[in-house]
Chain A
Amino acid sequence: MKVREMFACPKCGEPLEFGAGQCPKCQVRLDPATGKVRENVSDHELHASMEAARQKGKTGLIMMIPGIIMISVGFMIGSTFGIIVAIAGTVLALFGYGKSYNAKVNFKKELGNTMIPQVLSEIFENVEFQEAGKISEDIINNTEMHFNFTFNRISGNDYLKARYKGVDLEMSDITLDLVTTYTERDSDGDTETREEVSTKFNGQWIIFDFHKKLVADLNVYEGKKLFERNKIQTENEAFNKKYGIACDDEHSAFYVLTPHMMEHILKMDDMAGGNTYLRFQKDGKVHMAVSNNKNLFEIKNIKEASIDSLRGQFRNEIRYVTDMVDQILSEETVFAK
């Protein structure tokens, strides 16, 4: 009996047969001869993967159609036979949906191992990208961002750690949910625990380290209460109206919020398309959370996308972050070099 040589995937640890060209779990491409991660994958190979994902997606959707028909027919027939047909149809439809969904997810994972790090490395230094990673929950919980909501569950993906023009940054897509658990009692007296999830924030969380220490922490936040008037009033009326400003030291607020900085924040908020929350910390880090209901590096429509269009899309998404750093590093802010 031939003994198959096995090895562990260098990225996720999944057991693989020696000679495997790709890990089925994390989708990382491997050199079949050495088992090591292949850093450079050609556009031709990516295109082939994309086509395979499209086909699987199509197949999945096609499988859903008879499944849905079987569910409808089953309910129309009624009786035991109808229920069996409906259940079979449900299984088929779910299987088809799963196949279509997984095709897209797996292709996204592959991009996360190949194209996305390549695009990021063109723009940033010391790139570390984890498609399934996110900013640490401890950081998010301890940052004391001035949110006008509470949350008790954090999820996210597309974690990036890198350096741009001397500024260290971390970012990821983040979703903050408020999960409420309650118990329902039915007429028989049986209780059932249910969960209600309310999404309070969905967007990006970015941490910049400008290495510029401050005297006090400063919060700038959208969504202040009606008729809430800031204790700290800057000379920019539009800024005072739009944002709440909270800081223990008035001088520090004016120190950070220069006229140019306030203009940058207003402009960048317009571009972001969602509520913006900023926290300038004493240690020099600036946390920015933008609740724009957008996820970075997502494949919106795999049927119409191409490798080049995806590359262009990812570059554009990152430009928002680099433009922000460029503006903050410009002459008229305290973070300028």
Chain B
Amino acid sequence: MVAIIILVAIAAIVIWAINTVNGFKRREIKIDEALSGIEVALTKRYDMLTKLLDTAKGFMAHETELFTRIIALRKGMSVGEMGEADRQMGEITGRLFAVAEGYPELRSSEVFVELQKGIRDAEEHLQAARRLYNSNVTGYNTAIAMFPASILAGGRTPKEFYEAEAGKREDVKVAL
């Protein structure tokens, strides 16, 4: 009788351990998926911004400062690097729209209006992707920190949150 109880207890612990470790794996996969979602959204925003700058060049050729910034976007960027690229794109977009105020012909052009909508849509998707990623990271970091699951966390370390910092501004070289 005692042996059966012990066997059942061991089985329960083993099942719990398997579920917990699988749970960590599932969360890691979800985080990778969410990060991929951010990459997709960033790329879409970058493409829209590139087209918008190309369109604007024709109208404001002498605004050279706007067109001499480099945003490096590549596959497999870290969360921090993505955040930095996001911030830089936000800065350029903000400056472009501010300068475009002085060019009514550009602002009223159909292509510009469509691209503006496209950028807004891309930013909304980026915000959603960012929030989803952070939500998954919160879940994962909490799961590996909580006792008794933390015993099985092993070498797992908390994941980095995605922050689009409005931090320090640097002169960054941009090539289109």
Q: Which residues of A contact B (CB under 8 A)?
A: 233-235, 250-252, 254-255, 258, 334
Instruction: Specify which chain A residues have a CB less than 8 angstroms from the CB of B127 in the assembled complex.
Output: 258
Say yes or no: A235 contacts B128, CB within 8 Å.
no
Number of A-B contacts defined by CB within 8 Å: 27
Given known contacts A258-B127, A334-B124, is B37 in contact with A251 (CB within 8 Å)?
yes
Quick check: is B134 within 8 A (CB to CB) of the other chain?
yes
Complex Cα gap A255–B37 (Å): 12
Which of A234, A235, A250, A255 is close to B125, meaning CB atoms less than 8 Å apart? A255
Excluding A233-B139, A235-B138, 20 further A-B contacts by CB distance (< 8 Å) are A233-B135, A234-B131, A234-B135, A235-B131, A235-B135, A250-B132, A251-B37, A251-B128, A251-B129, A254-B128, A254-B131, A254-B132, A254-B135, A255-B124, A255-B125, A255-B128, A258-B124, A258-B127, A258-B128, A334-B124
User: Nearest Cβ in chain B — how far from A151, in angstroms?
Assistant: 34
Chain A residues with CB under 8 A of B125:
251, 255
Query: Of residues A250, A251, A252, A258, which shows the largest number of chain B Cβ atoms within 10 Å of its Cβ?
Result: A251
- A235 and B134: CB pair below 8 A? yes
Bound Cα distance A334, B138 (Å): 24
Residues 130-168 of B, flagged 1 when their CB comes within 8 A of A and 0 if not, give: 011011001100000000000000000000000000000
How many chain B residues touch the partner (CB < 8 A)? 12
Measured between beta carbons, the chain B residues less than 8 angstroms from A334 are: 124
* Least CB separation from A215: chain B residue: B125
- In the assembled complex, the Cα of A254 lies from the Cα of B139 at a distance in Å of 16
In Å, the complex CA distance between A224 and B128 comes to 24
- From residue 111 to 130 of chain B, which have CB atoms closer than 8 A to chain A? 124-125, 127-129
**A333 shortest CB reach to chain B, Å:** 9
Q: List 27 A-B contacts (CB under 8 A).
A: A233-B135, A233-B139, A234-B131, A234-B135, A235-B131, A235-B134, A235-B135, A235-B138, A250-B132, A251-B37, A251-B125, A251-B128, A251-B129, A251-B132, A252-B128, A254-B128, A254-B129, A254-B131, A254-B132, A254-B135, A255-B124, A255-B125, A255-B128, A258-B124, A258-B127, A258-B128, A334-B124
**Least CB distance, A237 to chain B, in whole angstroms:** 11
Q: Which of A233, A235, A252, A254 has the most CB of B within 10 A?
A: A254
Q: Which residues of B contact A250 (CB under 8 A)?
A: 132
- Residues on the A chain within 8 Å of B128, using CB: 251-252, 254-255, 258
By a CB distance below 8 angstroms, the chain A residues around B138 are 235
Q: Which of B125, B127, B129, B131 gathers most chain A CB within 10 Å?
A: B131
Please, how many angstroms separate the alpha-carbon atoms of A48 and B132 in the complex?
61
Separation of A283 and B44 alpha carbons in the complex (Å): 23
Of chain B, the residue at the smallest CB distance from A233 is B135
A328 CB → nearest B CB, Å: 14
Docked Cα-Cα span, A250 to B37, in Å, equals 11
A250 CA to B125 CA in the complex, in Å?
12
- The smallest C-beta distance from A248 to any residue of chain B, in angstroms, reads 14
- Could you tell me the distance in whole angstroms from the C-beta of B11 to the nearest C-beta in chain A? 25
Closest 9 CB pairs of A and B: A255-B128, A254-B128, A254-B132, A254-B131, A334-B124, A251-B128, A251-B37, A250-B132, A251-B132
Q: Shortest Cβ distance from B134 into chain A, in angstroms?
A: 7
A253 to B167 alpha-carbon distance, docked (Å): 29
A250 to B128 CA separation, bound complex (whole angstroms)? 9
Please indicate the chain A residues that have their CB under 8 angstroms from the CB of B139 in the complex: 233
Residues of B within 8 A of A258 (CB): 124, 127-128
